[in-house]
Amino acid sequence: GENVEQHPSTLSVQEGDSAVIKCTYSDSASNYFPWYKQELGKRPQLIIDIRSNVGEKKDQRIAVTLNKTAKHFSLHITETQPEDSAVYFCAASAGDYKLSFGAGTTVTVRA
């Protein structure tokens, strides 16, 4: 099955700086790569996703890049704000209904 590894497990950034989270996947058939944000005590919610036919996608301060050859994808958050503090999960799916998640990255934005 799919194995998704996520790094780093924790990330502390100064407000206004950028944050980068990286994930690798094992199944070359994976074609859908979403990112979820989970605030403390809340449910995970989708913040951005990318499909295998696209190399990069951006939504305001958030961007995701995908390198299919290397089987890795990354989340970039620019101009971080206190409300960006949360746990972020990457995931991968090979189109078989199953999402495989990374272990998560706890992001703390320091004021």
Partner 1 sequence: NAGVTQTPKFQVLKTGQSMTLQCAQDMNHNSMYWYRQDPGMGLRLIYYSASEGTTDKGEVPNGYNVSRLNKREFSLRLESAAPSQTSVYFCASSSGVGGTEAFFGQGTRLTVV
Using an 8 Å Cβ cutoff, are 42 and 83 in contact?
Answer: no
CA-based nearest residue to 86, from 36, 32, 37: 37
Using CB under 8 A, which of the segments 14-22, 40-48, 58-66, 70-78 binds partner 1? Answer: 40-48
Tell which one of 11, 13, 22, 31 touches partner 1 (CB under 8 A): 31
Q: Which residue has the tokens 């449910």?
A: 43
The CB-side HSE value for 104 (13 A sphere, CA atoms) comes to: 12
Rule CB under 8 A: say whether 54 interacts with partner 1. no
- Site pattern 3..22 for partner 1 (x: CB under 8 A): -x-x--x-------------
Tell which one of 24, 44, 64, 75 touches partner 1 (CB under 8 A): 44
Using an 8 Å Cβ cutoff, are 106 and 8 in contact?
Answer: no
Q: What is the DSSP string of 76-92?
A: EE-S--GGG-EEEEEEE
Rule CB under 8 A: say whether 85 interacts with partner 1. no
Rule CB under 8 A: say whether 32 interacts with partner 1. yes
Residues that bind partner 1 in the complex, under the rule CB under 8 A:
1, 4, 6, 9, 31-32, 34, 42-46, 49, 51, 89, 91, 93-104
